[in-house]
A = this chain, B = another copy of it.
Amino acid sequence: MQREVLDGAKEMMKEVIIEHLDIKNMLSSSNKFYIIDLGCSIGPNTFNSMQHVVQVVKDKYHDNILEFQVFFNDHVNNDFNTLFQSLPIDRSYYAFGVPGSFHDRLFPSRSIHFAHCSTSIHWLSKTPKELLDEKSPSWNKGLIHYIGASNIEVMNAYVAQFEKDMEMFFNARAEEIVPGGMMVLISPQFSERLLNFSGKLDESLVNSFNGPVYFPSIEDMTKVVEKNGCFSIEKIELTYPKSKLVDEADAKTLMINLRAVLEGLFINHFGSKIAKEAFTRTILKSDEISAWMKINYKKACQLFIALKRK
């Protein structure tokens, strides 16, 4: 499923590059094309995506003069050693690491021609303060997650933090991306229903999700893009896995596949040890969830957004 999700995103990226990217104007006399993967983690998905972008641009312009620079960004605590040691030998680009939060500036102004960010924008920069304040109407019983929260104030605090983060994110990218440059954002869509099955909340599962995350909707993303005002939306849509997996596979196979996706998110955020423990303790042992997820498989869709710097 992870592979299929990636393949679907790759196909859509190809379409938007072919339809909307105009490098002739962007590069003028230069032959250097700068790509960044924001929140790249340690590979190999990032290598797959980056080589794809390079190849699609090359194919579109039948151009062997272009020189590609790919910048791999993630938090300063990301394992860049593993990332660098796994770089494909036969890559057709120059590779660089960029340590730092993508909510801040990472590059000089007008440096980037294509930005890519997959499965990362839902990680909030911090837990909204009011959720941890017992006296606040948004007090979340010590939980740092909105999933299953009965209080609308809790959800609002998460949305507000997401919007603040995205404001910083888009302000930074608006400076860094050249006019005409593009940005593709891909974000998973885990609704509350994913975790809130049978009307009951699985506490251990909710607790395993204890990092501050918010999974934005189409409406959320449209709002933050419009507020920033520097990007036009070329494409925005929800995509569903096309696989026959739901009909054919048993719940276990499905779990293993979905686990790979979720574990990637967790490793990225909490490190591999905690992630492994969380998944061993909770997800794989929950037969109820397994059965429920089989039915709700199609809800594990993702949001695809292609933007162009005005």
In the bound complex, CA of A2 to CA of B44 (Å): 40
Chain A interface size, as a band, is 20 to 34
Residues of B within 8 A of A105 (CB): 94
Interface assignment of A26: CB less than 8 Å from any CB of chain B: no
Query: In the complex the two chains form, is A80's CB within 8 Å of B84's CB?
Result: yes
Q: How far is the CA of A33 from the CA of B261 in the complex (A)?
A: 40
Query: In the assembled complex, how far is the CB of residue A27 from the closest CB belonging to chain B, in whole angstroms?
Result: 12
Of A14-22, A95-103, A182-190, A294-302, which binds chain B?
Answer: A95-103
Task: Point out the residues of chain B lying under 8 angstroms from A85, CB to CB.
Answer: 76-77
- Most B CB atoms within 10 A — which of A67, A71, A77, A105? A67
Please indicate the chain B residues that have their CB under 8 angstroms from the CB of A87 in the complex: 76, 99
Q: State the copy count for this chain.
A: 2
Q: A76-B87, A80-B84, A81-B81 are contacts. A67–B99 as well, Cβ < 8 Å?
A: no
Q: Give chain B residues whose Cβ lies under 8 Å from the Cβ of A77.
A: 85
What residues of chain B lie closer than 8 Å to A81, measured between beta carbons? 79-81
**Given known A-B contacts A94-B106, A106-B94, A99 and B111 have beta carbons under 8 A apart:** no
Whether B108 lies near A69 (C-beta < 8 A) is yes
Note all chain B residues with C-beta closer than 8 A to A108: 31-32, 67, 69, 94
Query: Which of chain B's residues have a CB closer than 8 A to the CB of A107?
Result: 69, 94
Q: In the assembled complex, which residues on chain B have CB atoms less than 8 Å from the CB atom of A69? A: 107-108
Closest Cβ of chain B to A40, distance in Å, is 12
* Cβ contact within 8 Å between A97 and B94: no
Q: How far is the CB of A63 from chain B (nearest CB, A)?
A: 14
CB distance from A95 to the nearest CB of B (A): 7
10 extra interchain contacts, Cβ-Cβ under 8 A, other than A69-B107, A80-B81, A94-B105? A31-B108, A32-B111, A67-B109, A69-B108, A71-B96, A81-B81, A87-B99, A95-B99, A96-B98, A97-B99
Between-chain CB contacts (< 8 Å), 23 pairs: A31-B108, A32-B108, A67-B108, A69-B108, A76-B84, A76-B85, A77-B85, A79-B81, A80-B80, A80-B81, A80-B84, A80-B97, A84-B97, A84-B99, A87-B99, A94-B106, A94-B108, A95-B98, A95-B99, A96-B96, A96-B98, A97-B97, A97-B98
